[in-house]
Structure 1
Amino acid sequence: MSLDPVQLATFQAVVDHGSFDAAARVLHVTPSAVSQRIKALEQVVGQVLVRRTRPCEPTDAGRPLVRLGGQVALLEREALADARGALSGRARVAVVVNADSLEGWFLPVLTDLPDVQFELHTDDEGHTAELLRAGAVMAAVTSERVAVQGCRVTRLGAMRYLAVATPTFHARWFADRTPADAFAAAPVICFNRKDVLQRRFTRATTHRDVDPPTHFVPAAASFVEAIRLGLGWGLVPEGIAGPEIADGRLINLTPDRHLDVPLFWQYWRLESTVLSALTAAVQRIAAVALRQPSRN
């Protein structure tokens, strides 16, 4: 049995807008019609596709259809634009990016595609691919090198992090201690509970698992500001940390050590003009902004 495109579009509207009523308003039909279409689609698939929660969410069985619905909508829009010989409304592209890339190098990518509307999501680089698996986004900056099913993957380079703190913080916690003792005792700042970079760095540096006092600051700019205020030490991208180290505002706690995090670009395996242009822009800017094997 084939999927009914109207039912699929209705399912997509429910997921995108969070309720049957909201989908009905967007589609200009009654909530009853939306409910009937969703039930008919679930009968074809043989699975419950939508959790009737607030907001509505796709079930595990529904996630592949979320991705399919987004792909169909993108290709339809591009085909219509080609047929008319001009853009028929702006394409909308959902992308998930880790916070440090969004703060540092990713935003200039968007200027290469002025006719595209972007919906940006952010998450830890080790978790961004989850939104790609769920079909919620079309592309992701991620640390996962193995392609998500239905996606292509290309290496972008590595983001280098430096362990930094203020001179006052360094004098209090690091000046008269071994690195192992200092990292075990000194307060550390993490982005959120998914952020394992600081733990990875201290394990590699001290060869121990340490459990220091930890602050969670889940915003890139605020994260760096917390370090500037002396609340703790943390790993900061070299592009941000470098000038502050040069000016003496921050100190590199381990000048002979850094942490490189390889980043990859994963995107839907589609013959899409928009995704191809976005991928080209991402690769071009990442080639300059990130560490490449030839200049490590």
Structure 2
Amino acid sequence: MSFQFDHLRTLTALVDEGTFESAARRLHVTASAVSQRVRAMEQTAGKVLVQRTNPVRTTAAGDVVLRYARQVLLLDEDATTELRMGDRERGRVSVPLAVNADSLSTWFLEALTDLPADLGAVFEIHREDEEHTTSLLRSGTVMAAVTSTPEAVQGCTVAGLGALRYQAVCSPGFDEEYLCGRADPELLPYAPVVNFDRRDDLQDRFLRESGGGEPHGPRHYIPASEDFARAVLLGLGWGMVPEQRCAADVASGRLVALAPDRPVDVRLYWQRWNLRSPALDTVSEALRAGAAAHLHSL
């Protein structure tokens, strides 16, 4: 089956913008034209591609076509960029990526800044838990992702990045109030704990691996890396904080390391489309180099 190029661009705009009206403004056409193009694609595919919700959602068949559309558009942008090499006005290659919040707040952005200035890429970063970033690859929302899943998504390649190391920490005041002032990990199951969100399993994992069992204390949910670390620093609860973020505070006494010899390592992998693209190749090389400089070896 064959889809028209403009129709592929329309589908990506519709999914990115969420509504037919917003996609129409982005494409400088009418909402009716957007709807007609999508219907034409559905007739070509013989299947419904988009659920007409607000915002719109792709069906399983729509995920396949969306992934194809983004790949075609990436190749087109790559070719346009190469043809315009040396021109003053260059095209920009759009590279959507998925990354977990703690990588985003520690090493990921630094790796992106090491990219060559003439790459001409713009990034759309999707923040998602490392165990769920692969779903954005499957749906075609992103071209590559930092993930904790070593099994390659269909149509993708996978490479190890390293391990992001976490330490169990709390504030000195929290230690005095809940842990008898001796940073006793055996008391942690009954103390207040900070979780990133309801899918965050790091604190529970630490207790299981240290023999402390399941936590029974109050849980706070702070779904932002910097705010999570600040909540622990302020004594709201104990939590697992990336070693890169808490090392200085532990050294200065602002935080107490509860089990410095028992860190929790989260293995991270780089999954990307199995597609030759100068832009995606360059981004992948930079991120692997950045990970090698900041993460622990697998």
After TM superposition, is the score higher than 0.5? Answer: yes
Matches within 5 A, 1:128-167: 128-167=133-172
Note if 1:228 corresponds to 2:230.
no
Can you give the 5+ residue segments of structure 1 that lack an aligned partner in the other structure? Answer: none
Matches within 5 A, 1:221-260: 221-260=226-265
1:219 Cα deviation after fit = 0.9
| 1:219-239 C-alpha deviation (Å, 9 max, x unpaired) | 111111111111100001111
Do the aligned residues in 2 keep the contact of 1:154 with 1:266 (CA within 8 Å)? yes
So what's the TM-score if we normalise by structure 1? 0.93
Deviates more, 1:198-207 or 1:94-103: 198-207
Partner residue of 2:178 out of 164, 173, 182 = 173
Alignment partner, residue 118 of structure 1: 123
1:56 Cα deviation after fit = 1.5
Sort the Cα spacing of 1:189 and 1:43 in 2 relative to 1 into closer, same or farther, 3 A: same
Amino acid at match of 1:43: Q
Distance in 2 (alpha carbons) for counterparts of 1:290 and 1:34: 45
* Partner SS, residue 60 of structure 2: coil
Can you give the 5+ residue segments of structure 2 that lack an aligned partner in the other structure? Answer: none
Do the aligned residues in 2 keep the contact of 1:190 with 1:198 (CA within 8 Å)? yes
Distance in 1 (alpha carbons) for counterparts of 2:185 and 2:22: 56
| 1:28-47 C-alpha deviation (Å, 9 max, x unpaired) | 33322222221121122121
Do the aligned residues in 2 keep the contact of 1:170 with 1:253 (CA within 8 Å)? no
1:152 Cα deviation after fit = 1.0
Note if 1:102 corresponds to 2:97.
no
Deviates more, 1:260-269 or 1:18-27: 18-27
1:262 Cα deviation after fit = 0.4
Sort the Cα spacing of 1:5 and 1:162 in 2 relative to 1 into closer, same or farther, 3 A: same
Percent identity over the alignment?
Answer: 48
Amino acid at match of 1:287: A
Alignment partner, residue 186 of structure 1: 191
So what's the TM-score if we normalise by structure 2? 0.92
Alignment partner, residue 289 of structure 1: 294
Matches within 5 A, 1:68-87: 68-86=68-86
How many matched pairs?
Answer: 292
| 1:6-52 C-alpha deviation (Å, 9 max, x unpaired) | 32222222112222222223333332222222112112212111111
Note if 1:89 corresponds to 2:95.
no
Distance in 1 (alpha carbons) for counterparts of 2:202 and 2:216: 14
